[in-house]
A = this chain, B = another copy of it.
Amino acid sequence: MLTAKQHQLLVFIQERLAENGVSPSFDEMKDALGLKSKSGVHRLVNALEERGFIRRMANRARALEVIKMPEKPATTTASNVVAGNFGASPKAATPAPQEDHSIEIPLHGRIAAGTPIEALENRDSFVSVPHGMLGRGNCYALEVSGDSMIELGILDGDTVVIESTEVARDGEVVVALVDREEATLKTLRRNGRFIELVPANRDYKTQVLEADRVKVQGRLVGLLRTYH
């Protein structure tokens, strides 16, 4: 997924953020990578953003944020679990009491509505949603990335509320896992032994796949958007 340079830069950014909470400037990154010009850094940062590893605010100084780290094989079990538990803190143990009017659900990460996945991730963040928005089953939230569902009013940056389910009716918007690796948010259509994943954007094409390559993970039940 990442080239050596991209990885090196990503690690550097994440270290700096962990150290003092301040993201490095382009000049500092330039020096850290031993470069002599910032423009190369600019390209690397764009590449990391495109691939969904970092997020940034356009035209803002030091406004980088690491939103995921590349796969780290091995280590996963012991050390990670321990680290995860510490990070999760008590609040993960008591996820969502609250009252009647709204409920806390976990935010599981981003889903690129247009291309690949990344619907997993830990980050113990929660979103509170009006109770009337929830479905019957377990619900969780995802942040939408990309514009493939724009014609249904689902925009880049929106938060969608998903009800966990493996069944969905024709025409519903679902989180679909393709070939066990690529999750997308699309409208589901059945067509004989094929399943069509239909985007809501003329610039994207419908994917037609054999039914056994597609697994429904959830159903869209709500949407939240914040304007700034």
Q: A interface vs B, CB < 8 Å?
A: 1-4, 7, 11, 14-15, 17-23, 50-51, 57, 61-87, 89, 95, 98, 101-102, 104, 122-123, 126-133, 150, 153-155, 158, 173, 220-228
Contact = CB atoms under 8 A, between A and B. Distances in A.
11 contacts: A1-B17, A14-B76, A18-B80, A51-B57, A68-B74, A69-B75, A75-B77, A85-B86, A102-B128, A153-B153, A222-B226
A24 B228 CA distance: 25
Contacts of A64: 1
A131 B127 CA distance: 9
Contacts of A95: 89
A78 B170 CA distance: 45
A17 to B, nearest CB: 6
> How many copies of this chain does one complex carry?
2
B69 A132 contact: no
A23 to B, nearest CB: 6
Contacts of A67: 73-74
A74 B2 CA distance: 16
Given A1-B23, A65-B71, A89-B95, 6 more contacts: A14-B74, A68-B74, A81-B86, A82-B83, A220-B227, A221-B227
A195 to B, nearest CB: 20
Contacts of A73: 66-67, 122-123
A154 B83 CA distance: 39
Contact of A221 (B51, B84, B226): B226
Contacts of A76: 11, 14, 69, 72
Nearest to A124: B73
A132 B226 contact: yes
A138 to B, nearest CB: 16
Contacts of A72: 17-18, 21, 76-77
